[in-house]
Structure 1
């Protein structure tokens, strides 16, 4: 082992050796009973090698050491005592060298679940609290991102006395990136928070984040608002858990993970802090950087390897303490007309707003040129400002916004569609709406301040959402959440609506069915949104909503949305309905369900006929729905209208699914053959005597499925009224070998094994078997050899 440890002195071999350490540890443990000296190999040799390479300047070695240490901890190669004595001191030592390796914060959080509650509270909690109050803003931001790991492991006393006050302090941090991180982890913090503290402390703090002066903070808060509201459920419906890769997730009572949908926040096209610093060391370079930061640039300052241990991917790595010194000096730098906060100064507010508007207009022009939905855009006519009465009290940016608001209101009154705003005090957003709203049900506009460029709160619409009074969740959170559905055409408006639609079932589950009137109009507005992503989310959530609301509300309020989604232009929306077709129909009342029997064919009238998987799923869902309808409706619609078109599809998987559907239809109507007479006639004429061999093969497979599922009694199958047996025996002479092979398998497996057919039709069956025994095709002969 001493020789092996010397290998680590060679940088070239170091990384490869680290990757082999888990295998060496496993072999050492497996043979420790036989060789006494191997018992201490891990603690005395292997673990020190791994710990010594944490924070190494070489990125590959550093990554390998972290991955190996996590693997050894997860597999139990490292005892709790060894972790406390050797691993924890090494991690804490890295915390003192944040200029070398900032990912030590993420590493410490990654080990929280492996070390356990006792070590976390005794050793790591104190250091984590210190990091939360660091003078370096990016350290505080990283610490805020890791709050969920500590909330999941520590006890309630430590949480209430240490973690929660620290989190609330970070929510009011001077740097917008720290507040943004707090907004992103609010759900994890709230999951373990007592209900009284959640309402009295967390909810007001999150309300401030929703009205933050930074646009990016407001957007992040908006994205997590639905999940935060879901934590108010009583009894709790979500809890903190770890997925298979060790990442922190939210899990409901059924064991399903809650994954926040991706949302573009505009950071990807903005230069990062590191790139700006490295680009130029001149004062002009700093000025250009700071202008980007004022616009919401991402100032990530961590290592690339943070993402390997559950952290978020970072944009740039640095290994020099000089960079941190420059960063600290920059934080204290005062430029004329600028401050170190993300928002612009008052005296230069108009100038910064002009620059930002020009840049945004350029970006919007580029996006519009490549937008697939340009046909939704209606160019507004030119406004004659001389005809408008503008009242301004000064040159302040807030007054300018109010004046611009009046311009939009006056122009909106001239449009064919009326746009009603709560009052003249609602502040204007970055861009005017450039798309047509398909619904006007939603009147809430509370989130204007979330996606606008300043954080002043407008109280004009807080009382517009009408419904029964509820005390489960603070009403201002509900109002803000519902207002997210009415932001189309505004900056990030569609993304906010996506999050609203995605979280809607969780919010409704938290409120309960008695408060459905609060959110009914919002669900309708989302259901007819122009964005297919939003309609798809609503279509996929109709079934969970029906479970929550009950059959009466589902039949009355959700059924019209269901019918609209059946005829939606976008196939992905129809797929969302199709995947839950049976479950939704099962939940509505029988009267409403019967009205859907003749409407289900709308699903196949669009371009879905080219998507064979869509048709296969349609056939499978119809098969499950057979027992939901009356025999008459099954025979009329599922048997005679939908099944024949599916039986003649070119793709074999669709035909096989349709065969199962037809057999279930016949089984449902076998009590009265007159109901299925039309279908049986069609099967005999078009399939048993069809000119295409594929049709005849489908009939043979259908006969096999009918006998297998006992869809028809043996007497009905052999009767002249159905003609199934006679047509099957006639196809035994077919020149296509696949058809003869299908007939042979049907006779051997289902006919000669049935007492009725042996007693009444043995001669006809034996004749076919003897003929097939001498068939020219070997596969046909082998199929009947055992029967003969």
Structure 2
């Protein structure tokens, strides 16, 4: 259409005249389609400077007029069109303040149609961030507060959902005197849906408040919601408790920013001196978009972040389940399909019933319980802990005039109210609600960042309970960030508190173990050398999986092991770890073997500190692979040699390689299996031929090397001849 309009500019007045008649048509479907057409014409006219005047003189008034149409469909379409052209920047902020906003408020006040009022209130809430402070305080704020008193639940709900935007845009005075008092009142609304929505928006509302308002009004509202008579309100309040706690951090872990399209987003807001960022909840929607707790300290989103789902305020919903989560049963996940998993299970509080139930399950599936029992009394409720162990004691002045030091203040001051922390700790013990425990597990690193590492004892037992939860999904989440907790709480606390949990997680289901192994190297770095040496014998446990086809677990273990080999001593390497490496090199899955190849050079680099053990390791490579009966292992030996040569002298010097590995490699040049000869040819022509040390006439292996190269170039297999072709790689090796 834009090309038609461009070529027929003289017809625009006639077109607008026809549109004007169509907006007054008796048929509501005609008026409905006309409003849609007007919205499209706005975007077309906006692209031509000489046509933009028609937008303010005709098109926009037509859309605003449609807001008062007697047909509900036309009103809703006009609201959608108005939202669209505002988001596209067709009309500027001044037009929104002077024309659109007053027209919307007038339309809402002049109709008794509750659906129309609801939609207009929603639209006004979306344009809050586009109006100036004067219009906001004098026009928009009174309108939304007034609608929050409406008898219609949907109108009150629409007004309530605009409170986070209002909190972000209003000054402290209006937030203190108008917005927050009304929010606290709505937390006591007679309708449970309103109170549930109050719980949904409490985190973003807290993020736009200062510390004083947060500790008074927000904490009071949170306490009411957490003790609400309605189960769903309490559930929602608990689900948003983690994000709420993070807003108490100093400097703030989370804050609100406005995107380019005027969408309000809660984001992480760390300074450079803090090491960690809040955890991302895997089952939440995009409202609470906290970045993952990483060591590289990703920068928070800028104010020009462009997000999807324009014109929508994103509300947290932590009950979203992905398709992959539904593949397994949270209640009972069996690794071996031996018994009838459809049987009913009872988890009452009676101890005898529990013991008999466990005995029955053990008889059906030996050693296949759904969780690994912890050795730290993790089945106790957090409320059973000693008060002195759970609460931070306030600072008490002594008899003298001395004042507590800054360090003492920092160590004893807890920025989060005890009420919120108590309720958060109780979430972990919700064995009958795995979704709630899952939310607790998701947010624990962020909560720890908020209260600081000095208060780790407050969350220690909570983490114990999560790591031993009956749901494997909760245990997997707890295992996935154990390394981040270790980095944050330090070496001593890691060895004392987290190492026993890690050892238990290693014995868990593959799904849980994969979470622990994903960042195994980072966790090891936070352990002392002596503790790492004690941990070395247990590495062989990672080789055993519930099913052999779960090869990606072993491949991931290879990658993590390659990053952590330098953390062990040569004795640990030879006595424990080298056997693990050899087993991975002999794995039935090719991808695992390829990943394990990088372990050999790293292993030899560490063994440089003990040449005797290094020589034993090289001899074992020759025995286990170079002279193996299996042709795949002999082929693997040629690949091992290639990887060792890639590392250069820091792994194995050329002289040592020529004396210890090259003879066996050259011997494989006449192997009966073409695949072995092919790999030998690739290794020789990519790593050996260009090295002057190997091609030196003084080299004892020079004669055999030359004969092997010649024989490979004349091999009966075409692929072997291809890789042995000296001209293919540009190597000038004479046949003589």
Same fold, judged at TM 0.5 (above): yes
Task: State whether residues 229 and 477 of structure 1, in contact with CA within 8 Å, keep that contact through their aligned partners in structure 2.
Answer: yes
Q: Which residue of 2 aligns with 1:81?
A: 94
Shifted more, 184-193 versus 761-770: the winner is 761-770
The reply to whether residue 714 of structure 1 matches residue 727 of structure 2 is no
SS at structure 2 position matched to 1:249: strand
Which secondary structure does the structure 2 equivalent of 1:750 belong to? helix
Distance 2:448 2:197 in 1: 26
C-alpha displacement at 1:77, in angstroms?
Answer: 4.5
Q: Aligned pair 1:488/2:431, yes or no? A: yes
Cα deviation digits, residues 647-694 of structure 1 (max 9, x gap): 223433222210011221122213434323444334323333344443
User: Which digits, 9 at most, give the CA deviation of each residue in 1:284-320, with x for residues without a partner?
Assistant: xxxxxxxxxxxxxxxxxxxxxx998346699xxxxxx
Question: Which secondary structure does the structure 1 equivalent of 2:255 belong to?
Answer: strand
For the residues of structure 2 that align with 1:657 and 1:370, how far apart are their CA atoms? 30
1:726 correspondence with 2:663: yes
Tell me the residue number matched to 2:549: 610
User: Are the counterparts in 1 of residues 555 and 592 from structure 2 also a CA contact under 8 Å?
Assistant: yes
For 1:610, what is the secondary structure of its paired residue? Answer: coil
What is the aligned partner in structure 2 of residue 591 from structure 1? Answer: 530
Task: Indicate which of 575, 584, 602 corresponds to 2:514.
Answer: 575
Cα distance, 1:130–1:577 mapped onto 2, change above 3 Å: same
Deviations 1:199-250 (CA, angstroms, capped at 9, x unpaired): 2222122112111111111111111222222222222222124689956334
In structure 2, the CA distance between the partners of 1:633 and 1:222, relative to structure 1 (3 Å rule), is same
Cα distance in 1 for partners of 2:53, 2:695 equals 76
**1:394 alignment partner in structure 2:** none
Gaps of 5+ in 1: 265-305, 315-366, 381-407, 418-434, 447-459
SS in 2 for 1:102: helix
Change (3 A) 1:698 1:57: farther
**Cα distance between partner residues in 1 of 2:237 and 2:161:** 14
The 1:623/1:40 distance shift into structure 2, 3 A limit, reads farther
Which of the residues 232, 256, 265 maps onto 1:248?
A: 265
Aligned to 2:624: 686
Q: Compute the displacement of 1:508 (Å).
A: 2.4
Contact 2:206 2:247 in 1 (8 A): yes
Aligned to 2:400: none
- 1:542 and 2:485 equivalent? no
SS in 2 for 1:309: coil
Equivalent of residue 142 in structure 2, options 119, 122, 126: 126
**Distance of 2:104 and 2:674 partners within structure 1:** 72
Task: Give the 3 Å change call, closer, same or farther, for CA 741–523 of structure 1 in structure 2.
Answer: same
CA 1:180–1:657: 2 relative to 1, 3 Å: same
Aligned to 2:688: 751
Aligned twin of 2:463? 523
1:99, distance to aligned residue in structure 2 (A):
1.6
Contact 2:253 2:278 in 1 (8 A): no
Aligned residue in 2 for 1:163: 179
Cα separation, 2, equivalents of 1:58 and 1:95: 14
SS in 2 for 1:609: coil
Deviations 1:252-305 (A, max 9, x none): 5289676556499xxxxxxxxxxxxxxxxxxxxxxxxxxxxxxxxxxxxxxxxx
Answer with 767-776 or 742-751: which moved more: 767-776
Distance in 2 (CA, whole Å) between partners of 1:122 and 1:261 is: 41
Shift of 1:622: 0.3
**CA 1:609–1:87 in structure 2 vs 1: closer, same or farther (change >3 Å)?**
farther
Distance 1:597 1:707 in 2: 28
Per the TM alignment, residue 539 of structure 1 is displaced from its structure 2 partner at its CA by 1.2
- The alignment status of 1:551 with 2:567, answered yes or no, reads no
Cα distance, 1:756 vs structure 2 = 2.1
Correspondence for 2:219:
203
Moved more, 152-161 or 700-709: 152-161
Q: State yes or no: 1:643 paired with 2:581.
A: yes
Task: Measure, in 2, the Cα distance between the counterparts of 1:22 and 1:625.
Answer: 61
Tell me the matched-pair count.
622
**Aligned pairs for 1:47-446 within 5 A:** 73=86, 76-89=89-102, 91-92=104-105, 95-96=108-109, 98-100=114-116, 102-113=118-129, 120-121=136-137, 123-241=139-257, 246=263, 248-253=265-270, 260=281, 262=283, 309-310=312-313, 377-378=345-346, 441=378, 443-444=380-381
Deviation at 1:181, TM superposition (A): 0.8
- Partner in structure 2 of residue 622 of structure 1: 561
Q: What is the match of residue 607 of structure 2?
A: 669
Q: Match for 2:445 among 502, 505, 512?
A: 505
Q: Distance in 2 between matches of 1:312 and 1:225?
A: 14
| Match in the other structure for 1:473 | 416
Q: Distance in 1 between matches of 2:596 and 2:210?
A: 53
Instruction: Note the alpha carbon deviations across 1:350-385, whole angstroms, 9 max, x for none.
Output: xxxxxxxxxxxxxxxxx99999977793487xxxxx
2:593 paired residue among 637, 655, 677: 655
Quick check: 1:249–1:257 contact (8 Å CA) kept in 2?
no
The 3-state SS of whatever aligns with 1:232 is coil
Q: How much has 1:557 moved relative to structure 2?
A: 0.7
TM-score, normalised via structure 2 length: 0.73
2:552 alignment partner, SS class: helix
Partners of 2:159 and 2:386 lie apart in 1 by 34
In structure 1, how many angstroms separate the alpha carbons of the residues matched to 2:392 and 2:702? 73
Deviates most, 77-86 or 221-230: 77-86
Equivalent position SS for 1:726: helix
Q: 1:752, 1:765 within 8 Å by CA — same for their partners in 2?
A: no
Residue 570 (structure 2) aligned to one of 628, 631, 643: 631
1:426-480, Cα deviation, whole Å (9 max, x unpaired): xxxxxxxxx999575465477xxxxxxxxxxxxx999697444264322222222
Cα distance in 1 between the residues matched to 2:629 and 2:76: 67
Deviation at 1:592, TM superposition (A): 1.8
- Listed as ranges, the gaps of 5+ residues in structure 2 are 6-11, 24-29, 286-308, 318-329, 335-339, 357-369, 394-412
Mapped to 1, the partners of 2:598 and 2:76 lie a distance apart of 54
Tell whether the 8 Å contact from 2:96 to 2:130 is kept in structure 1 after alignment. Answer: no
Deviations 1:473-493 (A, max 9, x none): 22222222222222324xxx3
Asked if 2 retains the 8 angstrom alpha-carbon contact of 1:180 and 1:221, the reply is: yes
Verify the 8 A CA contact 1:619 1:661 in the aligned structure 2. Answer: yes
Over 3 Å counting, the alpha-carbon distance change for 1:629 and 1:92 in structure 2 is farther
Measure the CA separation in 2 of the matches of 1:57 and 1:47.
Answer: 19
Question: Structure 1 residues 23, 730: CA separation in 2 closer, same or farther (over 3 Å shift)?
Answer: farther
